[in-house]
């Protein structure tokens, strides 16, 4: 039912979603769920109900958008923000409050992290204000509630939770002093009137959104983001989106793992070219390329690596995907990936496999979207970094490829140091 192109076009028009970035299976599952809720028996029946109800249109969008966020995700970004904010206040001689924008803000973890980071950096409440915005009213309402479960707190350093939250029976409630720094509202980045009458922002966080758009929409959204960012401001993006901004005229500020870009920053030194590493054992059952552009035809060979022993149904399915792909059974492997996404939470390794299978089939643009999705879920996924680097280099984006290769090399060194 849901493979009808009408539903893909609807989501593309409303929220800019490129179906190739998430895979048809996720959208099909969302349409099936909503059809069952409305007792629609056919695609035409559900389509008519969808067109007749703005509430149902939003419900389908909500079913497709699955927030995956937590407090202080990418910690270096927030540490960098604190340092930049102090410097920015001195630069403007504290004549006004700093303005920070977070979109999409999802369920609030990011804008509240921004506020906590700035308070912890020594800024007074009157020195900054944070604006959070998301296309999902449900997510914004959850953010306004300000109560979070354990899944919103990840990593080893959770001292901020003791400083800024109160432990209650229904979860951890954000402190009023943090909540008061954040204003939340519903908004669509594709709306041409978005924040039209607002001053520009000193810092804009828009992370892991561009990877869901096709190239024309990426350029459209980038122009909106550039217009929202102060001429001397900084734009924070997701780890898989750096090469996109580089091609669109922005430069990294040069702070590793901050994923921060500026229009007028001095040119950061080009990363030293790191050749594609020789095959080494990895923690997952994924083939490693031996050529800069190894997967251009269906007949390309895949080096089999024995997968780790399965420990659950999810592990069994991942092992099956690896086996099928290594045996050259691309259609069966892709089908197994879709089954995984239908029954388990999104996993970087599955999107990596989908990228690899698309690469093998010669679908470079689709492969690029899947690799970026894998890096959204696991920023240092070594094989996704290397394959996306090879793909970018084959398309002539040498600078983007070198940045990814440098990230892969840094990740490998960090892993080696941790093991030594």
| Ordered DSSP codes for 65-92 | ------TTSSHHHHHHHHHHHHHHHHHT
Structural domain count of the chain: 3
Q: Is residue 273 part of a domain?
A: no
The pLDDT value given to residue 276: 39
Q: Is residue 58 part of a domain?
A: yes
The pLDDT value given to residue 95: 94
Residues 346 and 235 in one domain: no
Closest C-alpha among 101, 84, 83 to residue 206: 101
Alpha carbon 179 to its chain centroid, in Å, reads: 24
Q: Is residue 19 part of a domain?
A: yes
Q: Tell me if 200 sits within 8 A of 228, measured CB to CB.
A: yes
CA pair distance 150, 152, nearest whole angstrom:
5
4-26 pLDDT, tens per residue? 789 988 888 888 887 776 678 88
Over the Cα atoms of the chain, what is R_g? 22
Tokens 């029976």 identify what position? 169
**Range of weakest confidence among 93-97, 189-193, 240-244, 346-350:** 240-244
CATH number of domain containing 410: 1.25.40.10
CATH number of domain containing 91: 3.40.50.150
Of 44, 64, 84, the position where a domain reaches its end is 64
Residues 152 and 219 in one domain: yes
**Most confidently modeled range among 39-43, 175-179, 313-317, 330-334:** 175-179
297-350 pLDDT, tens per residue? 333 344 444 444 444 688 888 888 887 876 667 788 889 998 898 888 888 899
Residues 60 and 79 in one domain: no
**Percent residues over pLDDT 70 in the chain:** 82
The pLDDT value given to residue 252: 87
68-82 pLDDT, tens per residue? 789 998 899 999 999
Q: Is residue 275 part of a domain?
A: no
Q: Is residue 285 part of a domain?
A: no
- What are the structure tokens assigned to 400, written together? 């983007």
Q: Compute the average pLDDT of residues 278-290.
A: 39
Q: Tell me if 58 sits within 8 A of 98, measured CB to CB.
A: no
Residues 87 and 55 in one domain: no
Residues 398 and 343 in one domain: yes
Structural domain of 331: 313-419
The pLDDT value given to residue 298: 36
Q: Compute the average pLDDT of residues 227-236.
A: 94
Q: Is residue 88 part of a domain?
A: yes
> How much is the pTM?
0.64
363-405 pLDDT, tens per residue? 778 888 888 888 888 888 888 888 888 778 767 777 777 788 7
CA pair distance 110, 205, nearest whole angstrom:
9
Q: Compute the average pLDDT of residues 60-89.
A: 89
Task: State the sign of the Cα–Cα–Cα–Cα dihedral 96, 98, 101, 105.
Answer: negative
CA pair distance 255, 353, nearest whole angstrom:
30
Residues 146 and 39 in one domain: no
Q: Compute the average pLDDT of residues 162-174.
A: 95
Residues 52 and 86 in one domain: no
Q: Is residue 360 part of a domain?
A: yes
Checking if the pLDDT of 209 tops 90, the result is: no
Residues 224 and 341 in one domain: no
Q: Compute the average pLDDT of residues 172-186.
A: 97
Residues 237 and 170 in one domain: yes
CA pair distance 146, 130, nearest whole angstrom:
15
Of 247, 262, 277, the position where a domain reaches its end is 262
Of 240, 262, 284, the position where a domain reaches its end is 262
Query: What secondary structure does DSSP assign to 352-371, as a single string?
Result: HHHHHHHHHTT-HHHHHHHH
The pLDDT value given to residue 283: 39
Residues 105 and 237 in one domain: yes
- Between 202 and 295, whose confidence is greater? 202
**Most confidently modeled range among 40-44, 80-84, 136-140:** 80-84
Q: Is residue 301 part of a domain?
A: no
Residues 25 and 143 in one domain: no
What value does the mean pLDDT of the chain take? 81
Residues 183 and 87 in one domain: yes
């Amino acid at each position: 039912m849901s493979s009808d192109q009408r539903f893909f076009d609807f989501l593309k028009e409303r929220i800019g979603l490129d179906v190739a970035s998430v895979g048809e299976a996720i959208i099909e599952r969302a349409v099936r769920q909503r059809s069952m809720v409305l007792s629609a028996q056919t695609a035409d029946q559900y389509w008519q109900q969808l067109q007749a109800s703005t509430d149902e249109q939003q419900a389908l969008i909500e079913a497709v958008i699955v927030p995956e966020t937590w407090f202080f995700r990418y910690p270096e970004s927030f540490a960098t923000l604190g340092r930049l904010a102090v410097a920015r206040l001195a630069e403007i001689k504290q004549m006004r409050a700093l303005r920070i924008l977070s979109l999409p803000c999802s369920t609030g973890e990011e804008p509240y992290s921004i506020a906590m980071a700035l308070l912890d950096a020594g800024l007074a409440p009157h020195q900054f204000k944070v604006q959070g915005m998301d296309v999902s009213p449900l997510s914004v309402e959850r953010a306004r509630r300000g109560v979070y479960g354990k899944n919103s707190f990840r990593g080893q350093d959770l001292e901020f939770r003791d400083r800024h939250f109160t432990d209650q029976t229904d979860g951890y409630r954000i402190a009023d002093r943090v909540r008061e720094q954040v204003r939340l509202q519903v908004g669509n980045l594709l709306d041409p009137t978005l924040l039209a009458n607002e001053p520009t922002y000193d810092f804009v966080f828009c992370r892991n959104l561009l990877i869901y758009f096709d190239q024309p929409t990426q350029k459209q959204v980038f122009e909106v983001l550039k217009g929202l960012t102060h001429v001397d401001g900084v734009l924070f993006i997701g780890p898989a989106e750096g090469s996109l901004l580089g091609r669109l005229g922005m430069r990294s500020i040069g702070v590793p793992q901050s994923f921060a870009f500026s229009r007028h920053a001095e040119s950061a030194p080009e990363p030293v070219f790191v050749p594609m590493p020789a095959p080494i054992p990895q923690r997952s059952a994924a083939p490693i390329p031996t050529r800069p552009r190894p997967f251009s035809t269906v007949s390309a060979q895949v080096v089999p690596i024995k997968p780790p022993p399965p420990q659950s149904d999810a592990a069994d399915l991942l092992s099956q995907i690896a086996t099928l792909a290594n045996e050259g059974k691309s259609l069966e492997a892709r089908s197994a990936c879709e089954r995984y996404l239908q029954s388990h939470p999104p996993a970087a390794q599955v999107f990596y496999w989908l990228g690899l299978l698309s690469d093998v089939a010669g679908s470079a643009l689709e492969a690029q979207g899947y690799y970026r999705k894998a890096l959204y879920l696991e920023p240092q996924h070594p094989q996704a970094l290397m394959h996306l680097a090879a793909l970018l280099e084959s398309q002539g984006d040498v600078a983007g490829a070198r940045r990814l290769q440098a990230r892969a090399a840094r990740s490998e060194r960090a892993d080696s140091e941790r093991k030594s």
